[in-house]
Structure formats: C-alpha cells, structure tokens
A and B are shown apart, each in its own frame.
Chain A
Amino acid sequence: MPELGSFALLLGLALSVYSFLAGLVALTRNEPRWKVLEESARRAGIASFATVFLAAAILVVAAFSNDFSIAYIFHHSNRELPAPYKFATLWSGQEGSLLFWSLLLSGYGLVLRLRHRTDERLFAHASVVIAAVQTFFLLLLNFAARPFAIRPGPVAADGSGLNPLLQYPEMVIHPPMLYLGYIGFTVPFAFALGALAMRYPGDKWIHITRRWTMVTWGFLTCGIFLGAHWAYYVLGWGGYWGWDPVENASLMPWLTGTAFLHSVMMQEKRGMLKTWNVWLIFSTFMLSIFGTFLTRSGVVNSVHAFAQSSIGDWFVAFLGVIALSCVYFYLKNRDHLRSDHRLESLVSRESSFLFNNLVFLVACFTVLWGTLFPVLSDWIEGHKVTVGAPFFNKVNIPVALFLLLLTAIGPLLAWRKTSLESLKRNFTWPTLGALGTGLFLLVTPASWGSPFGLRPWNSISYLYSLMTIVLSVLVGLTVLSEFVRGGRVIAGKTGASLPAAMVQLARRNTRRYGGYIVHLGVMLIMIGFAGSAFNQDQEKEMSYGDKLAIGPYTLVCQSYTQEENPNYSADIAIMQVWQGGRQIDTLYPESRMYTAAGEQQHVPTVRSTLKEDLYLVFEGQNPDTGHPIIKAHLNPLVSWIWIGVLTMVVGTILALVPNTRTLRAVVPARLGTAVSTRPAPVGAND
C-alpha cells in the first residue's frame, strides 16, 4: 500500500509538470494547431486530481487498517482512536496535511478545468498557474515531506496516537474549512495572473474572480471561527483568540481578501482600482503561502505549529518565484490596468471603499508586523521579544473601531458624490439610535440590572467596549433602515407584509443584501468581542459541598467521579449551578489522561446564554491537600460571536445566490455629463 501511495504521488507530479509545461507552450504559441496540446494539458490537470485523490485515500485506509509501518500513521494514530479521528489523521501532521492541501488544490483545479467552456482562453491561463502551484506541492510531497515514508525497524504493535487537543469533533471540520479557504485563494490568483498575462479584454474575469473569492472567503471565515470555537471549548483557558502566530497567519489573507471583496466593486461599477485589485489578489495568495510557511517552518514559536522542519526553505523559494512572476507580468502589462474614471469627492462611496481598504491593509500590516517583530528584534538586537495579546489588542482595537464606523456609513454613501441632504436623511435616525443606546448604557445603574455597569471612566477597555457597542448599533440600524426603506416600497406596490417585502427585496439583489447581512454578522461579532472587557474568573480548591461565587452564580461541588475507556481515563467534577436561590443546572468539567499519548488534557464545560457563558475548568488537584481545583470564568456575550458567524455565513450564501430578477433604471439624459448615461442595474453594483 505505501508503495502504491508513493507511486500515485510521483505520477501526480509528472502529470502536473506536463499540465504546466504543455499548457505554457500552447498558450505562448497561440495558434489553432497547438490547441491539441492545450487540451492535453487540461486533461493532464484533471488526471492529476485522480492520482492525488488515490494517494490521500491510501493514507486514510492505512490509518483505518493501523498500518504502523508508515511513519506518519505511527506518529498520528493508534488502534483505539475513534473512527472520525482516524479519518482526521490525514491532516493531523505535516506530511498528511500537505497531501490534503494538494488534494484540495487539485479539486479546485478539477472544477476549474471542467468549467473551461465559460471562457476557454482565460481558463487555460488559470489552469497553467494552478498546475504550477500544484507542481510545487507535489515536489514537496515527493521529496521533502513524504507521507508514505517507511518507519525503520520492526513494525510497532501500536501507534503514538493523535494529539489529545485534536481529539474533538470540531477538529474534523476546522482544518478542511481553513484549508478550503487558504487554498481557494489560488483560484482568484490564477485568474488574476492569467488575465494580466494575456491582457484580458474587459472585466469578465473580475466577475468570475469575485465569485470564487467569495466562496473561498466564506470557507476561510468558517475555518477561522471554527478554530476560535475549538480554542474556546477545548484549550480551557477561557478565551477564543490568543493572537498566536498561526492564528495570525489565517487572519492576514482573510483581511486582504475582505479588502478585495469591497474594492472589486469599484472596478465593476466604475472601472477604477484595477492595479490595486490585482495586487490585492496577488497579496492574498502570497499571504496564504506565507502563512503556510510560518506554520511549518518553525520561524516563529506557536503552540499550533507543526514540528520544525526544513521545508521552510522550499516555501521561501516558492514565495520568491511567485513575487517575481507577479512583478514581471505587472511591469509588462501595467498599461492594461489603467482606471476608466477618477475619484471626484471624499464624501462618496468610492472614497469610503478606499478608506475601508486602507483600514483592512493597516490591520493586516499590524498583524504581520507584530508576528514578525520577534524575528526582526532577534536579528537586530540579538534577542527576541514577545509580541502577544496586549500589543495586538492595543494596536488593533482603534483600527477595528474605525472599520466599524466605515461599515456603518459606507453602504449609505452614493457613488461619485453624496449631498448633505442625503447624509442627513440616511444617518439621522441611526445616529440618534446609536447615541441613545450609548447614553442608556452609561446612565443605567447596575442596580437596575445593567448587564455590565458600563463605566468608561473606570478602564480604557470599558471605553472601547462602549464605543464598540455604540458603533455596532449604528451598523445594525443603518442596515435595518436600508431593508425597511426598500421593503416599504415593495410592500406599497405589491401589498405584501413588510417582512415578506424585505425577503423579496433581498432576493432581487442578493449580492447587496447578502452583503448587508454579512455586516449584521460583523456587528454581532463585535458586540461579542466587546463583552470580553467584563470577563471575570475565580479559582478555588473545592471538596464536597464547597461553594464558589462568581457573578450571579454560586457553584456547589456535589461530588467527583471517574470514567475510563480504551482511549482515555477521566476525573469528572459534578458541579451544581445555583442562581437566585434555586439550582438551575449541573455542569461536568473533566480532566482526561489519554492512554496512547500519555498526555493530560482539561475538557472545560460551558453553560451558555445570550447574556454570558459560565465556563468551568477542572484544573487538577492540589498535590499537598489532594483537593481538586476548579476554575470558573464568567464571559459575557460570547454567544453573540457564534451567532454573528452564522449570520455571516447566511449572508455569504445569499450573496452567492443569483438574483430572482434584474432591475434596470436609466438616469434621465438631461443631466448630461454629470452622471453616467450607461444603464445599470439599480443597486446591483453597490
């Protein structure tokens, strides 16, 4: 079996190399007689998917059949590992995850090559770029990180087992989502580079690219937040984001990808920012590869990183080749990227997109800067420094607040120029509503049941929290006002109820209203983040009947129990939760000892409500007294984050669904040059 897997990877490499070279030759000749070569390159690309799929399937079968002759299976699986985690073995280690990466990339390539009739020339160019990227990963798999390498010596009776931190249902979903996001950015990159190389006439490529980017962005969003959810429910420190280098690596392409999804509208609507958009896509792809390099090279310290290895050099070389290719084609064809229009006013949709892009890029730069600063400090000062959560929070919170403000005002600004009357009409009520909310939070005394006692003069984090909530409400109200205004018009014409009219409205322009729903999701997430300013925690040794008070809750230790299965043994605390003189719940925090790995792991338990999470961790036992130690966290508004993510997913899906009807409105001709005379779908481009 391992030999077959290795052969499949070698064949996959040969096919990818052929797909790249033959495609390249055919495209440079650009004559009908070379068409056969172009078609053979496309088919070789499709065949490479079959070979990589076969290799991945062999590795999964090896995990299920406990083939510990393969070093990778020995290190990442064991006999008693539950079946879903055996499947997850494929992406649990360096070599397997690179194989998984290659599989997903060839899967994206398969879809692209099967859909080549959309635009054969453009897709042929994109196919060549994808084949080049695929060749790099298959070179790694064949020569630097071999998943089918045989372990020397006699075959072991059992494996070392999967890392206990990864034995959690979400770990079966989180990496594939994250990888679909990371790898998916190869496709927009391939289209952008291909379109630039061939001097693609028109903007069709940007429509195709935007759709692919949105799908990819959706996956990456899910992947990042599934990771945050996993960290919260598994790592047991009570938080969901620690600004770890590996977390940062996933955030950077997300930030530039989000910037692109906004600025691409300027290219579609006004033919502007063509160079900027191309470079945003290039940067997003390079940041995806750079993130992979960070995770796998050992250049930065991270609890999430794979073992340190030599493949970092491969990634540096690959990044160099990508950067040179991008610069070469840009310099060669930059005249093709001239803008059709100029920006006319600072108070316009265009400039709001510029500021939006600026904020996303500054946030990305800050994350990159903070992640790499320890390395820089080591080079220049001769010693490393730590750049942790306090730095990122302090620097990024003002940037995020500025972004939230733009999220509120940007969508309501008109293209080209916004008048004062329009500003007043669109913003008066949302602004008053947001300020009223802020005032309410300020003046409500804690004795009235004010959830947080929001007193910004007590702490800078309270001030940020108040600003976040006020700006989030502003975002929510501006989005709501857009839905209500449009819904009322439709309701007036059709006689439908307002909610039904709003649904109809969203279906008529899915991209615009899907985008608004994504903004609502962002608003909910930001409110969730704001809650972290009011986190509390308590730690106590607790024997039977002992009590621990935190916030409105009193925890009473009922008893302790033990559980044992072939995979792990667990100590479990049984904790009663009391509130207002009555018992409202029982929670069971655990401390597990995994047999194969010989590692201990806390498994927290969470009682989640809209207002707050009660989060309990079985920290261990005091070696002197033998008493168990329980740590309780009270984390306000965390549920809002997960609800916000679901809202973002719904918005993204809606934005991908085609409109039910295209509406067109022509602006009267008498305005002459003051407005565009080209008919445009109303609202479809904004």
Chain B
Amino acid sequence: MTSFFLIPAKRLPALLALVLAATVLFGAGDDPVRVERLGHQLMCVCSCNQILLECNHVGCPYSTSMRSELVAEVGKNNDKGVLEWFVAKYGPTVLAAPPTTGFNRLAWIMPYLALVMGIGAIIWIVNVWRARSPVTASRPVSSQESSELDQFREQARKEAGL
C-alpha cells in the first residue's frame, strides 16, 4: 500500500521520525537562537507569572539581570546545563514547565493517557452498543441499502429545499 506522493506506508514512521529529529536539532548550536528558546522555558521570578523574555513588569528587579545571566550561561553551558544552573540559583519554579523526571513526569503523561483511554473507551462503547443493538441484530443494513438510504436522504433534502 502506498500513500500520498508514492511513499511506501511502512516507511512513513521512519520518515516522520527523521522530520521530527531534524526539527529538534536544527539551529541547536546558534547562541541567539538558544537564548530565545531557553528564555521561553524560564519564568521571571518577580511573581509577575510571565515568561522571562516576555516580562515587561515596570521596574522588575529580576528580569534584566536574569537575561544577562542567561546570555552568559548560554556561552558556557549546553541547554541542560543552563536550565540546571537556573534551577540551582532560583529553585524549581524558575522552569516554565515541569521537568520530565520523577513525579513531575506525571504532569506530561496524564493528558495523553486521558486521551488514549477516552478513545479506547469510545471504541469499546460503540462495539458493545453495536453488539447489543436489536436493529442491527435482527436485520443489518446492507451496503446496497446504505447507499439507498443516502439517496433518500439526498432526495429528502432536495424536496425540502435544503
């Protein structure tokens, strides 16, 4: 089976992984780009609840010095090291999102788990309902009837002016 653009379907996952990896790795070594990216993963600690690079709190006692520290650390450390340096200095609340370690991993897992469980529940419910449905059990709708039904629906729409 092939999909759009004649890419074999079995190679799609590998291709997707390649695109995602390229997406993540492109521009990883560029300092201004790293400052921009990391500055959006950090919070200003002045209680304004704003991302560090978006803090426009008038007279903010922290954001200016934190931005200077960020530029300095980006020159010395890799991304992980920069974030660890900020956590060591300002505490875990300086990170704009929970880290993917320990208990905090739960923050990331739960939404996707809820989605997957919900989809599973719907498919299960539909299957149970279909199995119990007296109409389906007594006389399943054939594909010919189904197409006939569509024609009648269309006819009803036209006759009713819709």
Interface residues of A (CB under 8 A from B): 235-239, 242, 244, 301-303, 342-346, 351, 354-355, 358-359, 361-362, 365-366, 369-370, 373, 377, 380-381, 383-391, 394-395, 399, 414, 417, 419, 421-422, 435, 456-460, 463, 486, 489-490, 493, 505, 508-509, 591, 599-602, 617, 619-620, 631, 663-665, 667-668, 671-675, 682-683
**Chain B: CB-nearest residue to A493:** B161
B71 at the interface (CB under 8 A from A): no
Complex Cα–Cα for A183 and B30 (A): 50
Complex Cα spacing A41 to B60, Å: 55
CB contacts (< 8 Å) of A242 on chain B: these are: 49-50
B119 partner residues in chain A, CB cutoff 8 A: 355, 358
Q: Which of B17-49 contact A (CB under 8 A)?
A: 19-20, 22-24, 26-27, 40-41, 43, 47-49
Contact A602 B56 (CB under 8 A): yes
A505→B160 CA distance, assembly (Å): 11
Residues of A within 8 A of B110 (CB): 365, 369
- B89 CB → nearest A CB, Å: 15
* Cα(A256)–Cα(B5), bound, Å: 40
In the complex, 23 of the A-B residue pairs with CB atoms within 8 angstroms, ordered by the A residue number, are A242-B50, A301-B49, A342-B129, A342-B132, A358-B118, A373-B107, A381-B103, A385-B95, A386-B95, A386-B97, A389-B51, A389-B96, A391-B96, A399-B115, A419-B146, A458-B23, A505-B162, A601-B58, A602-B56, A668-B152, A671-B148, A673-B138, A683-B162
Q: Which of B87-138 contact A (CB under 8 A)?
A: 91-99, 102-104, 107-108, 110-112, 114-115, 118-119, 122-123, 125-126, 129-130, 132-133, 135-136, 138
B residues engaging A (CB < 8 A)?
A: 4, 19-20, 22-24, 26-27, 40-41, 43, 47-51, 54-56, 58-59, 91-99, 102-104, 107-108, 110-112, 114-115, 118-119, 122-123, 125-126, 129-130, 132-133, 135-136, 138-139, 141, 143, 145-150, 152-153, 156-162
A238 vs B19: C-alpha distance when bound (angstroms): 31
Contact between A671 and B145 (Cβ–Cβ < 8 Å)? yes
Q: Is the Cβ of A369 less than 8 Å from the Cβ of B111?
A: yes
Cross-chain contact A457 with B122 (CB below 8 angstroms): no
Q: Cβ of B133 and Cβ of A344 under 8 Å apart?
A: yes
Closest residue of chain A to B143 (Cβ to Cβ) is A419
Which chain A residue lies CB-closest to B148? Answer: A671
Q: Which residues of A contact B132 (CB under 8 A)?
A: 342
Known: A388-B97, A460-B24, A508-B162. A683 touches B157 (CB 8 A): yes
**Which residue in A236, A346, A421 is a CB contact (below 8 Å) of B126?**
A346
**Distance from B152 Cβ to chain A, minimum over Cβ atoms (Å):** 6
C-alpha gap A381/B152 in the complex (Å) = 62
Known: A417-B146, A619-B56. A390 touches B161 (CB 8 A): no
When distances are taken between beta carbons in the complex, the residues of chain B under 8 Å from A490 are 161-162
Contact present for A674 and B149 (CB under 8 Å):
yes
Q: Which residues of B contact A377 (CB under 8 A)?
A: 98, 103-104, 107
Q: A600 vs B60: C-alpha distance in the bound complex, in angstroms?
A: 12
Residues in A whose Cβ lies below 8 Å from that of B4: 435
Report yes or no: A388 in contact with B150, Cβ–Cβ below 8 A.
no
Interface contact A373-B54, CB-CB below 8 Å? no
In the complex with contacts A600-B58, A602-B58, A674-B139, A388-B43 CB distance below 8 A? yes
A328–B112 alpha-carbon span in the complex (Å): 32
- Asked if A244 and B103 make an inter-chain contact with CB atoms under 8 angstroms apart, the answer reads no
Q: A674 near B98 (CB under 8 angstroms)?
A: no
Question: Is there an interface contact between B40 and A386, defined as CB atoms closer than 8 Å?
Answer: no
Say how far A534's CB is from chain B's closest CB, in angstroms: 13
Nearest CB on B from A211, distance (A): 23
Chain A positions within 8 Å of B129 at CB level? 342-344
B161/A663 in contact, CB under 8 A: yes
Give which listed residue, A244, A354, A362, A380, contacts B111 with CB less than 8 A: A362
Provide the residues of chain B in CB contact with A343, threshold 8 Å.
Answer: 125-126, 129-130, 133
Q: Which residues of A contact B122 (CB under 8 A)?
A: 351, 354-355, 358
Q: A388-B97, A664-B160 are in contact. Are A414 and B153 (CB under 8 A)?
A: yes
Q: Are A682 and B143 in contact (CB under 8 A)?
A: no
Contact A238–B54 (Cβ < 8 Å): yes
Bound-complex Cα distance A355 to B159 (A): 32
Residues of A within 8 A of B157 (CB): 486, 489, 665, 682-683
B147 proximity list for chain A (CB < 8 A): 419, 421
Q: Which of A346, A383, A457 touches B23 (beta carbons < 8 Å)? A: A457
Docked pose: A421 CA to B144 CA in angstroms? 11
Identity of the chain A residue whose Cβ is nearest the Cβ of B138 in the assembled complex: A673
Tell me how far the C-beta of A343 lies from the nearest C-beta in chain B, rounded to whole angstroms.
4
Contact B150 A665 (CB under 8 A): no
Q: Give chain A residues whose Cβ lies under 8 Å from the Cβ of B108.
A: 391, 395
Identify which of B41, B49, B107, B114 contacts A302 (C-beta below 8 A).
B49
Task: Give, as a whole number of angstroms, the nearest-CB distance from A391 to chain B.
Answer: 4
Known: A237-B50, A395-B111, A673-B139. Contact between A419 and B161, CB under 8 A? no
CB <8 Å contact, B114 and A362: yes
Contact B23 A390 (CB under 8 A): no
Residue among A359, A387, A463 facing the most chain B CB atoms (10 A cut-off): A387
* B112, B133, B143, B146 — most chain A CB neighbours (10 Å): B146
Interface contact B141-A387, CB-CB below 8 Å: no
Name which residue of chain A comes closest to B54, CB basis.
Answer: A237
CB distance from A501 to the nearest CB of B (A): 9
User: Nearest chain-B residue to A369 (Cβ)?
Assistant: B110
Are A391 and B93 in contact (CB-based, < 8 A)?
no
In angstroms, Cα B141 to Cα A419, docked, is 11
Q: Give Cα A380 to B93, complex, Å.
A: 15
Q: How far is the CA of A284 from the CA of B50 in the complex (A)?
A: 29
Point out the residue from A244, A421, A486, A665 that lies within 8 Å of B49, measured CB to CB.
A244
Q: Report A-chain residues with C-beta under 8 Å of the C-beta of B92.
A: 383-386
Please pick, from A236, A385, A683, the residue contacting B98 in the complex, using a CB distance under 8 A.
Answer: A385
**Residues of chain B with a CB closer than 8 A to A602's CB:** 56, 58
| Min C-beta distance of B40 to chain A, whole Å | 7
The 4 closest A-B pairs by CB, nearest first: A665-B156, A391-B97, A342-B129, A388-B96
B118 and A620 contacting across the interface, CB-CB below 8 Å? no
- Once bound together, how far apart are the Cα atoms of A236 and B95, in whole Å? 22
Q: How far is the CA of A656 from the CA of B49 in the complex (A)?
A: 39
A458-B23, A600-B58 as given contacts; A390 in contact with B40, CB under 8 Å: yes
In the complex, are the beta carbons of B138 and A303 less than 8 A apart?
A: no
Residues of chain B with a CB closer than 8 A to A463's CB? 19, 23
Q: Are A303 and B141 in contact (CB under 8 A)?
A: no
B150 touches A419 (CB 8 A): yes
A386, A390, A508 — most chain B CB neighbours (10 Å): A386
Tell me if A344 and B130 are in contact (CB < 8 A).
yes
Chain A residues with CB under 8 A of B26 = 457-459
- Knowing A301-B49, A389-B51, A682-B156, say if A384 contacts B133 (CB, 8 Å): no
Closest to B99 in A: A385
Is A419 touching B149 in the complex (CB atoms < 8 A)?
yes
Complex Cα spacing A378 to B21, Å: 34
A426 to B132, CA, bound (A): 30
Question: Do A460 and B23 touch (CB < 8 A)?
Answer: yes
A384-B93 in contact (CB<8A): yes
Measured in the bound complex, the distance between the Cα atoms of B101 and A385 in whole Å is 12
* Alpha-carbon gap, A683 to B119, bound state (A): 28
Q: Which residues of B contact A435 (CB under 8 A)?
A: 4
